[in-house]
Every structure is written in C-alpha cells, then in structure tokens.
Amino acid sequence: MTGRREFNPARITAQHRQVLMLLAEGDKDWEIAVQLGLQLRQVHERVKSLRWMLEARNRAHVVARGYQVGLLPAGRVAS
C-alpha cells in the first residue's frame, strides 16, 4: 500500500474545475473570486478542497496534479 487515496474525478465539481483552470492561468484568489462571483473565503475553501482531493502539497502542486490526472488540457500555459 502506498498510502495514496484513489483519485475519483467525479468528486471534482464544475466550480472546482473553474478554480483549477484559473489557478493554472496564475490568477490570485481574489481574482478568482471576482471572476466567479464568489467570496474570497469560498475560493480558499475550493483550493483547500482541491489540495485534499488531488493530494497536493501547495497551489503549484494542485496545478501539476490537475495536468497529471487530466483535469487540465495538455499544452495549456499560463498567460
């Protein structure tokens, strides 16, 4: 056993995917909140949830794992 949870893409909501895409583009939490019409606290919760679901250590690792598991399209680069 490796200690890793089995990744379940069904747990990733549409809003989680939107947050992940904006993280990959390099947006800050407040920018994500404005773009998605969320409160800053809600963005923090989504990022924390993504970290847990993707077993990521930090925001950059969330994005890397997003690519690894196919949640982000290959070749997408931050603008």
The 3-class secondary structure across the chain, one letter per residue, is CCCCCCCCHHHCCHHHHHHHHHHHCCCCHHHHHHHHCCCHHHHHHHHHHHHHHCCCCCHHHHHHHHHHCCCCCCCCCCC
More confidently predicted of 11 and 2: 11
Q: What is the pLDDT of residue 6?
A: 73
Q: Dump pLDDT digits (tens) for 47-78.
A: 999 999 999 999 999 999 999 999 998 875 55
Residue 51 lies in a domain: yes
Tokens of 5: 């949870």
Structurally, the chain folds into a number of domains equal to 1
Q: Which CATH number characterizes residue 60's domain?
A: 1.10.10.10
Residue 3 lies in a domain: no
